[in-house]
Amino acid sequence: MTDPTAATFAAVFIALWIGHTVGDHWVQSSCQAAHKGLPGRAGRLACTRHVLGLTATKAAVLAPIVLVLGLDLGAAGLTVGFLLDAASHWWADRRTTLAALARVCGKAEFYSLGTPTHPAHPVTADGTYAPTLGTGAYSLDQSWHILWLGISALIIASV
């Protein structure tokens, strides 16, 4: 990889990461977040709507970076990179798939960390479950997405 390609990879990765955090947390609707893991058509549609909004957000963040920095990106790399990122995000956000991968990898206990099903779940002063954003499922979800952001950025920068 040449130095300009390495710099392009870094710029694309940063743009995708910014777009990811905004799209996954600000753009995603409460309905999409609540329903994307449901079985059947309703869950698949909610997940698809989430991934479409997320992908549009990533593209909206990447576009000015490409223009301002004068990055030379090919249509094939952009197409393959965005499709791969979207597909990997959709797969993980159906929830049962990522939970199954966690079980296969020996991470089932970590996946349940911070939830009422974990033996050491957080509790309030009166001993009831204390909800938290700091769950193992969330950590594994986000690390999965960042892995694929890196792979997608490499494809976008080099193809």
Helical residues (DSSP H) of the chain, grouped into ranges: 3-22, 30-35, 40-69, 75-93, 96-104, 108-111, 136-158
Which residues in the chain land under pLDDT 70? 1-2, 116, 118-121, 130-133
Q: Name beta bridge partners: 129.
A: 123
pLDDT of residue 125: 79
pLDDT at 133: 65
Model pLDDT for residues 62-100, shown as the tens digit of each residue: 999 999 999 999 999 999 999 999 999 999 999 999 999
Residue 146 is encoded by which pair of tokens? Answer: 């960042």
pTM for the model = 0.87
Q: What is the predicted pLDDT for the residue at 86?
A: 98
Q: What is the pLDDT of residue 111?
A: 83
d(Cα 107, Cα 140) in Å, to the nearest integer? 9
Looking at residue 152, what is its pLDDT? 98
Which residues neighbour 1 within 8 Å (Cβ) at sequence distance 6 or greater? 9, 158
- The whole-number pLDDT of residue 35 equals 96
pLDDT of residue 132: 67
